[in-house]
Amino acid sequence: MKHILTLSFIALILFSCGNEKTQSVEDIIASNSLEEIRQKKTELDAQQQNLAEQLKQLSLKIKELDPQEKIPLITTVPAKESVFTHYVELQGNVDTKKNLVIYPEYSGIMTNVYVKEGQKVTKGQTLAKIDDGGLSQQVAQLQIQADLAKTTFERQKRLWDQNIGSEIQYLQAKSTYEAQQKAVSQLQQQVARTIVKAPFTGTIDDVITEQGSVVAPGQSQLFRIVNLDEMYIKTDVPESYITNVTEGKTVEVEFPVLGTSMKAKVRQAGNFINPANRTFKVEIAILNTDKNIKPNLTAKLKINDYTNEKAILIPLSIISENAKGEQYVYTITDKSKNKAIAKRSIIETGKTQGDFIEVLSGLSNNDEIIQEGARSVKDGQEVKILDIQTN
């Protein structure tokens, strides 16, 4: 039968060629006659449509007569158990607890600045001096009075211990001495406020106010000091992950600007849900040995929220859904050489990661799933398995 159809097709072509006008296409083009050229094109278009229709009919008849032509060609992929680690992908900003703008505690002229930008300083180191407006002299005067009160008290105490003098004289001397001590201490504290010191060890990132400027508490910014040793990333996590994103969870950190990445741990997970955006805060401690990571740097985070040691993962692209909303894939049964029977398997899926999804039920380890050709098969249909060699 196939030979008869082939001979019919050849005869059809010869018949079409024999009925062509003897004048060739080249001759018609050479005539430069627009009317003849258009007429020839119309004839050829009609012949082309006629041949295409006949070829289509021949192909349909071949599929009808040859059983091999009706078997869908498919490829399969085995369902294998593997460790599935799911990550929540978020974005965060780098921060440090030691990034501080220093303000003065005393009003006056900043008479001395002892540091410059980029200088490393230690905790308690003097950074600047503010004019105390004569407080130091007052401290010296009060100290003289305090020393006299101390001497008087000590003498009065010795007399009192020997039962000489009145108790009231002893108590007055003691009260005067203690009052003078407190007055000196109070004034010394005010003088100490004129000395600006480093609150922690770090680097002077910016000298904001220059020497000779008038400064005031809570208004004048003097220095910015930063310590890049104890850095962390802060981010907001949706409340749906509150039971999965906890302290100690593994985090994959990527810094797109630096082109680097690292692994870290969640050091703190907040216990408060922000009612405005339904999120909770998370902090991830990071190492900054080379000091390239700066405050406010953007980081991409992948926080491990779920792990399945024996998960079956399949490509998302091969999953279909029926009218009931059930998800299904096709597997093969009764495999014999390169042929098998397609079987529809209803599945329950879990979490996705990239182009793959976790199958919770409906598939077993080593089941062969139809991948290529899955959209063209039906339940119970015979399929032909292509053997694809991979290098």
Tell me the pLDDT tens digit for each residue of 240-295.
999 888 898 889 999 999 999 999 999 999 989 999 999 999 999 998 888 889 88
Q: What is the pLDDT of residue 119?
A: 92
Instruction: Note the pLDDT tens digit of each residue in 29-54.
Output: 888 888 888 888 888 888 888 888 88
pTM: 0.55
For the stretch 192-233, pLDDT in tens is 888 899 999 999 999 999 999 999 998 899 999 998 888 899
The yes-or-no verdict on residue 390 having pLDDT over 80 is: no
320-321 and 250-255 beta bridge pairing: unpaired
Residue 350: count other Cβ atoms within 10 Å of its Cβ.
16
Find how far residue 21's CA is from the centre of its chain. 72
Instruction: Tell me which of 61-70, 125-134, 279-288 is least confident.
Output: 61-70
* pLDDT tens digit sequence for 149-200: 888 888 888 887 788 777 888 888 888 888 888 888 888 888 888 889 999 9
pLDDT of 97-113, one tens digit each? 888 999 999 899 999 99
By the 10 Å C-beta count (0-12 exposed, 13-18 middle, 19+ buried), 36 is classed as middle
Place of tokens 């009706």: 70
| Residue bearing the bigger pLDDT, 16 or 85 | 85
pLDDT, residue 391, reads 41
DSSP assignment of 38-65 equals HHHHHHHHHHHHHHHHHHHHHHHHHHHH
